[in-house]
A and B are shown apart, each in its own frame.
Chain A
């Protein structure tokens, strides 16, 4: 594809661009896991940058992206949600009782509403059903406010 073709694609996209805004409400399990992960990040924020801390942060970030970005029910084995939480519970043992308590809330959150299809999946299904061209979903994987998306 030449640079001119890329420019042509940009102009075509601009002329065909439509915005459909769906405000998604996360399930109870997703909200509880996200909240607990946020608190755990806060609890280890003053820790030294050691390998164990970095490892726990990475596991927490992966868990949060898994639950926020999933297009499949959380009980789907491929997401390995329980295995991820179990690893976090084990890793939390080294950081005191607060973190252990928070990690146990993750375990209990994992037991509720797990068979619910994420709302993002149903939006995607609707879009694909009506789509004539290509469809893309623009969303934040970290539940952050993105100014550009908000303005569009």
Chain B
């Protein structure tokens, strides 16, 4: 990806400086949410504490990087933080918010037209008796303008879909879920994300992978909570596996970093950082505390030197963090 292509991305806005007597804007204010959520410890929510700036920033980083279009190579975001506690969880939560805000459920005609060739889709078509059946298919490039070709596997059939007949189909990226179960996480996300469909909760989607200490991860998740309006849920509620037992966030130790298949990976700490070459992902966030960063600053400098883009200087600025975002050459 070139610097020009990056220039066309939606750049993060610069927050206005807080003036006395007004509440300071948070990075979460930039995400266009219906309700700005509060991210705090459970005790903090009970005390009525607001979202700390650093927690808002880390959530924002996860959301931003998860939406970064990376056609080739790997986009790296190196974050030097005062402490790594809760940082991976907050970045992962940002990625989860991004995933939940992407189109789910029935796609519109414009969304179907923009699907890339080879994208797997699910078609729901009514038979002569009006009963709907779901068929798995694949988007193919149509040589006819204004027409989308979808090849269904079983029974083998090709649908040529045009706008006038589009209403006969339900095209989805994920299989139709009939469950009407509303979870705590679903209630909170409904308040936060405009056009959120609760179907996302029941759909097996892995938002990101986190290479970290599993004991620390298990300790942290139940202790942070998100509140929006009168609804609240812990991180553990959000990151619980879907009904198909697919992890919302794939958590692995450093020794198994090479087996990660997710396109967005968070490397939490020095050991996962050292296994970065084994990770094949489009987006990688590296979290190091100040001392760890000092120890591995030479490696980070080498990574920066081998980048093939213009460094996104100033794109993610914060007084607490030192952040570097760059794209390295890759397959």
Contact = CB atoms under 8 A, between A and B. Distances in A.
Do A and B make up one complex? yes
Interface stretch (B29-37, B70-78, B82-90): B82-90
A84 to B, nearest CB: 37
Interface stretch (A1-9, A44-52, A95-103): A1-9
B220 interface: yes
A15 B82 CA distance: 9
Contacts, number: 49
Contacts of B85: 3-4, 6-7, 10
A25 interface: no
A13 B44 contact: no
B43 A11 contact: no
Contacts of A2: 41-44, 223
Interface of A: 2-8, 10-15, 148, 151
Interface in B230-278: none
Given A2-B223, A3-B85, A11 B320 contact: yes
Contacts of A148: 291
Given A4-B44, A8-B54, A15-B53, 12 more contacts: A3-B86, A3-B223, A4-B43, A5-B43, A10-B82, A10-B85, A11-B52, A11-B81, A11-B82, A14-B82, A15-B320, A151-B294
B224 interface: yes
Contacts of B54: 8, 11, 15
A3 B320 CA distance: 19
B296 to A, nearest CB: 15
Contacts of B83: 6-7, 10-11
B52 A13 contact: no
Given A11-B52, A11-B54, A15-B320, A5 B86 contact: no
Give chain B's interface residue range (CB within 8 Å of chain A).
20 to 34
A17 B130 CA distance: 68
A102 to B, nearest CB: 40
B321 to A, nearest CB: 9
Contacts of B81: 11
27 contacts: A2-B42, A2-B44, A2-B223, A3-B41, A3-B220, A3-B223, A4-B40, A4-B41, A4-B43, A4-B85, A4-B224, A5-B41, A5-B43, A5-B44, A7-B83, A7-B85, A10-B82, A11-B52, A11-B53, A11-B54, A11-B81, A11-B82, A11-B320, A14-B82, A15-B54, A15-B319, A148-B291
A30 B166 CA distance: 89
Contacts of B44: 2, 4-5
Interface centre among B42, B82, B223 (most CB of A within 10 A): B82
A3 B44 CA distance: 11
B320 A4 contact: no
A6 B40 CA distance: 12
Nearest to B220: A3
Contacts of B294: 151
Closest 5 CB pairs of A and B: A4-B41, A14-B82, A11-B54, A7-B85, A10-B83
B52 A8 contact: yes
Contacts of B52: 8, 11-12
Nearest to A15: B320
B40 A13 contact: no
A4 B38 CA distance: 14
B211 to A, nearest CB: 20
Contacts of A3: 41, 85-86, 219-220, 223
A7 B320 contact: no
A144 B220 CA distance: 38
B24 to A, nearest CB: 12
